[in-house]
């Protein structure tokens, strides 16, 4: 597609339920990133994919968070047993390439999924 | 962990004035990027400056980088109401996987 697409745009869930957030990156972008942003805060890195593998998942806050990417394209971020502190905007981004020591290109962000845990 | 820190946290100016935002970072970088965010949703990439560059221009945007002081500035000239947004700097270090680390942003309000 022309841009990074995220769904749903808004999600309200009850505490303790599982949620799945989807990201469809720009075709041909091998690098994919998940960030989250709490109200009025900066972006917190969660996980980075290069192709289907995740060489850096250091930002996942707990084992309730997991992500996968299939076919070098669509990625799903899953949050199990959601807690109120998980409420945030979850942003996905993709870029043309990345690699240690390489000058990276800018990221293209999706519009995010606003998750509210009640 | 926070790499970039923007200053000021908030800036309010009149249309036509220039807006200057600053960013400081802690570790050596490969490049530094500026992003704009409207209404708390997706970010838009504005400009990338490499560690061996000192200044870069794009339209009404001017970015400077001082690696000796570990700081960067973003200047928006002749601001417009449509420039109202949050602006973030983000750095790519020379270690790790070249992922971006963002600061907390500067909220810019441009009044007509």
Q: What is the C-alpha end-to-end distance of chain B, expressed in Å?
A: 37
SS3 at position A94: strand
* Contacts for B55 with CB less than 8 Å, ≥ 6 apart: B49, B62, B63, B64, B65
Contact A108, A4 (CB under 8 A): yes
**Contacts B38 to A, Cβ<8 Å:** none
Are B100 and A89 an interchain contact pair (Cβ–Cβ within 8 Å)?
A: no
Q: Determine, for residues B41 and A89 on separate chains, whether the beta-carbon distance falls below 8 Å.
A: yes
Mean pLDDT, chain A, whole residue set: 91
Residue B96's pLDDT is what? 67
pLDDT at B1: 44
Q: Measured between alpha carbons, how far is B95 from B82 in angstroms, rounded to an integer?
A: 37
B42: closest chain A residue by CA: A111
Least confident of A4-8, A18-22, A107-111, B96-100: B96-100
Task: Please tell me the CATH superfamily of domain B5-111, with its number.
Answer: Immunoglobulins (2.60.40.10)
CATH says A5-99 is which class? mainly beta
Averaged in consecutive runs of 10 residues, what is the pLDDT profile of chain B (112 residues)? Answer: 75 97 92 90 91 96 97 98 96 78 93 94
Cβ atoms B19, B11 nearer than 8 A:
yes
**Token representation of residue B61:** 């945007």
CA nearest B33: which of B100, B93, B86, B81? B100
Q: What is the pLDDT of residue B110?
A: 97
pLDDT at A103: 56
Q: Which two three-digit tokens encode residue A114?
A: 């606003």
CA–CA distance, A39 with A4 (Å, rounded to integer) = 22
Quote the pLDDT of residue B21.
97
pLDDT band at A40 (very low <50, low <70, confident <90, very high): confident
């Amino acid at each position: 597609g022309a841009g990074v697409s995220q769904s749903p745009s808004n999600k309200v869930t009850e505490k303790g339920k599982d949620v799945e957030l989807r990201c469809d990156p720009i075709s041909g972008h091998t690098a994919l990133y998940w960030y989250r942003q709490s109200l009025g805060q900066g972006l917190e890195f969660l996980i980075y994919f290069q192709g289907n593998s995740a060489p850096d998942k250091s930002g996942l806050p707990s084992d309730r968070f997991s992500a996968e990417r299939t076919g070098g394209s669509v990625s799903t971020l899953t949050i199990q047993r959601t807690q109120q502190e998980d409420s945030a905007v979850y942003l996905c981004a993709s870029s043309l390439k990345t690699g240690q020591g390489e000058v990276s290109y800018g990221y293209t962000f999706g519009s995010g999924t606003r998750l509210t845990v009640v | 962990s926070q790499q970039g820190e923007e200053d000021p946290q908030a800036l309010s100016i009149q249309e036509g004035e220039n807006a200057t935002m600053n960013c400081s970072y802690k570790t050596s970088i490969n490049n530094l990027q500026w992003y704009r965010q409207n209404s708390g949703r997706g970010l838009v990439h504005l400009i990338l400056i490499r560690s061996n560059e000192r200044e870069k221009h794009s339209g009404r945007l001017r970015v400077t980088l001082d690696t000796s002081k570990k700081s960067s500035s973003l200047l928006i000239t002749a601001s417009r109401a449509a420039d109202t947004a949050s602006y973030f700097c983000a750095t790519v270090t020379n270690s790790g996987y070249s992922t971006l680390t963002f600061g907390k942003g500067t909220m810019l309000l441009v009044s007509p």
